Structure 1
Amino acid sequence: MRPVPWRRWLRRFLGLWRSSLEFRTIAITVILSGIAVTIIGASISVSIGTNVYEQRRQQIESESQRATQLAQNIFDSATATEDNNQVELDSLQNQAQSAILSSTSSPGGTSIAILRTPGQTTSQTIQNIASPDFPNSSISKAMRSAVAGETEKLHLQAVELTTSSGRSPGIAVGSTLQVPTAGQYELYLVYDLADAQKTLDFMQQTLAIGSIALVLLIAVITYVVVRLVVGPIRIAAATSQKIAAGHLEERIPEAGQDVIATLGRSFNGMADAMQRQIEQLADLSRMQQRFVSDVSHELRTPLTTIRLAGDMLYDNRDTFDPAAARTAELLHTQVDRFETLLADLLEISRFDAGAVELETEPVAIVRLVEQSVDEFYPLAEGTGSTLTVTARGGYFDAEIDPRRVRRILRNLVGNAIEHGEGRPIEVVVDSDASAVAIAVDDHGAGMIPAFTERVFDRFWRADPSRKRTIGGTGLGLSISREDAVLHGGSLEVWSEPGIGTRFVVTLPRRRGATITTSPIALDERRRSEPEGGGR
């Protein structure tokens, strides 16, 4: 289904509005100036229209008053007798009509009508007369009643006229005439105001064109000003992006003494200080990595000697007295732990130096998990915990580095046994078309949120006084997360006091693929646990 055009334009407008400060500033200025110009133009148009109409109304009222008085004077001059009164009245009526038309000067034209007032019983009458183009429909019954009832004043009414060129406004004026021996007649004059309307239309058109030109001029001026102001800001934004991308030598050009130049100098000073700090930190980091690596390598030589001597003592411990035999066992255990610690330190230094590479191959995840868990069954039985493996889903093959995934599982399962408090431990494997996930659940004491935020920190322990039963180095979870991230996946933790802890490692099924969701929900335990923690 194709999108509606106006929605497409709306999305483009909103995109520009959010991304462009220049467009947003110009748009706001044009909209506000357009509203202001429209209000001012409308006010001016209404004021001019009112003034034009009022002037024409006063002119029409004055002309109508003169025309009525002129016609009345003509009829008052009648000297007719009973025998020739009708002939003279008709002649006076024609004279009055001609005089009225000649006394008006409306550019749009004037229509005239002389109508007998209804309800009279005089013996003599004159015929009703009207101009050929007189608009009878414009004279309403209400106006005729008002003219017939109030004979001492003029009555004006706005009307709409229909002409060959279209519709135009007009004014109808009504008054009364007293004709000797013929009674009362009504004089109606209709003035066409098309000329005034044309003048007003021309003025409004000119005002509209001027308003649009003014708004466009304001837009151009705003664009020029915004370019002058936003240009340096755009340069500063581009420079900051380059610095964020690692180009620490980038700087903003400095010119002038204005605020923008001050901003540029301040920014460049800040960038210089930041570059020095980053370089110092980078040097310190390299020194630290080199130190850890060198120390780890240097310690391997004496450790190998100690290992040989310790193994000899450990193998012959049965010939020693009990105290010496116990010392040989402790020496053997601590040498093993020392070797593990050195291996972890070397691995951490390789991660920090970015010198770690994956060696992936197609692997059946369920089989790998089962093999990794098998070696922990004796240790779990010693603590009273039971280990179970549950496989769900149907996409269990994946391109992974099996050595690193085994190390992740050893760390997670060993950690669960360490903190499981003798309760059951479940390992769940699930998958979908794009990812595989492994969850390790224990039902131990759990952790508060402040501890879960630091659980992957190096050498961090939630309870330093707690005795280690497995003898970890404090780097296992940190290395496990690095291994997961190296695969393009993640290692997350969920825990609640009194319920237990869940670790979920999610890996892409194909090397280099991107994953957005995990087949196993991290907080699935929260939704499935009964109230009270299931204890």
Structure 2
Amino acid sequence: MRGLGWRTYLPRLLRFWRRSLQFRTVAITVMLSSVAVGLIGAYMSISIGDNLLSSRTEQINAEAARANLIAQQLFDDAPTTDETDPVELATLGVSVQNAIASSTTTPGGTGIALNRTPGQQTQQVLQPTSSRNFPDEVVTVEMREQLAESPGEVLLQSVMLPGGEPGLVAGSQLSVPNAGVYELYLVYDLSDAQRTLGFVQQTLLLGGLALIALIGAVTYVVVRLVVGPVRLAAETSQKLAAGQLEVRIPEKGEDVIATLARSFNGMADSLQHQITRLAELSRVQQRFVSDVSHELRTPLTTIRLAGDMLYDQRESFPPATERTAELLHTQVQRFEVLLADLLEISRYDAGAVDLDLEPTNLVRLADDAVDSMRALADERGSDLRVVAPGGYFEAEVEARRVRRILRNLLGNAVEHGEGRPIVVTIDSNATAIGIAVRDYGIGMAAFDVEKVFDRFWRADPSRKRTIGGTGLGLAISLEDATLHEGWLEVWSEPGEGTCFRLTLPRERGVPISSSPVGLPPEEPVDTIEEAHA
């Protein structure tokens, strides 16, 4: 469980990064400030360290040169007879060592050594001497060789002292009368400079962290002052979108944020007024359509009964009267269909439509719809075919509404199919069932495809409906599909035909991942060849 929590931590952080402008701004500011402070701190640390080392080196070099001068002067002032007692020469060496030690003013000196340069033959020999704390291992062969090559110079070399502290060795040559050439080594401990540099680096680190924290806090406060009103405006706009038209942004001050609040509130007032007015007009329109439709039912029923009586007795009428009775019967039927569609549309507009769902075999439903339209298709010369490669398909739908959708799509295909084959394809996947009605007729342009579901719209106004229809069939079909939480889509190309695809969820409340049928679907070669024959 702990590992799972760690695995979900990064996605949560990324999601919070994308959603929170305040967190993103503060984080970016802190990161950039950290980089800048780090670069400046590194530069200052290196610069201070170089300056400390440079000044310490110059000081040690000057002191080593002064020590060499003191020692050489003491040796030059000593007696130079050949009978110098070795004890006196040793005493002189100790005196030189004490004189150098007393002349040292630089803190950190750790030792003095006086070594004989190898390879000499002299009358007297001054035994090498060194202070008790002198680390002999810091005097390397390379340094002694460099001293032999540069006898008049003071050489410096960085070393690591036995305690792990940094140090500096200063070496020079001395000429001892009757004893030859000797090497003077002074070792200095640089731990004091190292501690100073460490203290400076620690101060820079703590100061940098404090500065970054201060920058982050200041950025948080500033961003909060700016983002707060923006967040309030976003929340208010969401409430407006949800239908709470009375919410407004508080107006405080006279700055840019206050100007934004006043502008937003003015826009909200205008939207509320327009939406209220349009809603009232929509209610009046819906009530008018519903009332008129209901009021027309009674006289239409009377007219239909009278028309049916005349239609049943038409053979006894003169030819002109007989034709008039037939026209009256046909138009009354069309009027009834139009009135039923208007009532259905008014119920959709009023939001008073409920579904009566039950498991339904959509292949059988499609077969029934095709059979009901087959006679009309035969009159127009179109061959209706059902392609169901997946076999048995069942979904939770209201059969009456789905059957109405299919009849509307089939009627539209027969109307515009130009007598060519019409193919109904049914397939399914884990979440949805798709039904496509494909014709190979005249097709539609892209502009007409966008308008095809509008009420009372026709692609060619001059083209008459030869099989009836009210102009509301596709609009009602789209409402039925949406009521089922499904899709009704269209594809069309001029000269290639049209395909309507209905996609319905297999279970109520389960979202559709994708449609199992293509738009348009792939069809057998013989069907395509016959359609274009």
Q: TM-score, normalization: structure 2?
A: 0.93
- After superposition, the Cα gap between the structure-2 partners of 1:212 and 1:432, relative to the gap in structure 1 and judged at 3 Å, is same
| One-letter amino acid matched to 2:169 | A
Instruction: Using the TM superposition, give the Cα deviation of residue 80 of structure 1 relative to its aligned residue in structure 2, in angstroms.
Output: 4.1
Q: In the TM superposition, what are the counterparts of 1:1-400 in structure 2 within 5 Å?
A: 8-163=8-163, 167-393=164-390, 396-400=393-397
| One-letter amino acid matched to 2:429 | D
- Structure 2: which 5+ residue stretches go unaligned? none
| One-letter amino acid matched to 2:344 | E
Query: Take 1:181 and 1:487, find their aligned partners in 2: how far apart are those partners?
Result: 119
Instruction: Using the TM superposition, give the Cα deviation of residue 246 of structure 1 relative to its aligned residue in structure 2, in angstroms.
Output: 0.6
Judge which range, 324-333 or 64-73, deviates more.
324-333
1:446 aligns with 2:438: no
Query: Take 1:467 and 1:518, find their aligned partners in 2: how far apart are those partners?
Result: 34
Q: Deviations over 1:96-133 (max 9, x none)?
A: 22222222234333222222334434343323334454
- After superposition, the Cα gap between the structure-2 partners of 1:63 and 1:9, relative to the gap in structure 1 and judged at 3 Å, is farther
| One-letter amino acid matched to 1:95 | S
Alpha carbons 2:109, 2:186 under 8 Å: kept? no
**Which residue of the partner structure matches residue 481 of structure 1?**
478
| One-letter amino acid matched to 1:353 | A
Instruction: Using the TM superposition, give the Cα deviation of residue 64 of structure 1 relative to its aligned residue in structure 2, in angstroms.
Output: 0.7
1:339 aligned counterpart, secondary structure: helix
Superposition CA RMSD, Å: 2.6
Instruction: Using the TM superposition, give the Cα deviation of residue 172 of structure 1 relative to its aligned residue in structure 2, in angstroms.
Output: 1.6
Query: Take 1:185 and 1:448, find their aligned partners in 2: how far apart are those partners?
Result: 108
| One-letter amino acid matched to 1:327 | T
Query: Take 1:325 and 1:129, find their aligned partners in 2: how far apart are those partners?
Result: 148
Alpha carbons 1:78, 1:88 under 8 Å: kept? no
Query: Take 1:498 and 1:116, find their aligned partners in 2: how far apart are those partners?
Result: 112
| One-letter amino acid matched to 1:169 | P
Alpha carbons 2:361, 2:392 under 8 Å: kept? no
2:491 aligned counterpart, secondary structure: strand
Q: In the TM superposition, what are the counterparts of 1:374-523 in structure 2 within 5 Å?
A: 374-393=371-390, 396-523=393-520
Instruction: Using the TM superposition, give the Cα deviation of residue 432 of structure 1 relative to its aligned residue in structure 2, in angstroms.
Output: 3.4
2:83 aligned counterpart, secondary structure: coil
Instruction: Using the TM superposition, give the Cα deviation of residue 231 of structure 1 relative to its aligned residue in structure 2, in angstroms.
Output: 2.2
Q: Deviations over 1:405-444 (max 9, x none)?
A: 1100100111111111111111122223432221111122
1:190 aligned counterpart, secondary structure: strand
- After superposition, the Cα gap between the structure-2 partners of 1:253 and 1:395, relative to the gap in structure 1 and judged at 3 Å, is farther
Query: Take 1:283 and 1:14, find their aligned partners in 2: how far apart are those partners?
Result: 45
Alpha carbons 2:174, 2:182 under 8 Å: kept? yes
> Alignment length, in residue pairs?
532
- After superposition, the Cα gap between the structure-2 partners of 1:498 and 1:134, relative to the gap in structure 1 and judged at 3 Å, is farther
Alpha carbons 1:393, 1:432 under 8 Å: kept? no
Q: Deviations over 1:120-157 (max 9, x none)?
A: 34343323334454444434444323221122221122
Query: Take 2:101 and 2:405, find their aligned partners in 1: how far apart are those partners?
Result: 110
Instruction: Using the TM superposition, give the Cα deviation of residue 75 of structure 1 relative to its aligned residue in structure 2, in angstroms.
Output: 1.1
- Structure 1: which 5+ residue stretches go unaligned? none
- After superposition, the Cα gap between the structure-2 partners of 1:375 and 1:241, relative to the gap in structure 1 and judged at 3 Å, is same
Identity of aligned residues (%): 62
Query: Take 1:11 and 1:381, find their aligned partners in 2: how far apart are those partners?
Result: 61
Q: TM-score, normalization: structure 1?
A: 0.92
Alpha carbons 2:80, 2:178 under 8 Å: kept? no
- After superposition, the Cα gap between the structure-2 partners of 1:407 and 1:4, relative to the gap in structure 1 and judged at 3 Å, is closer
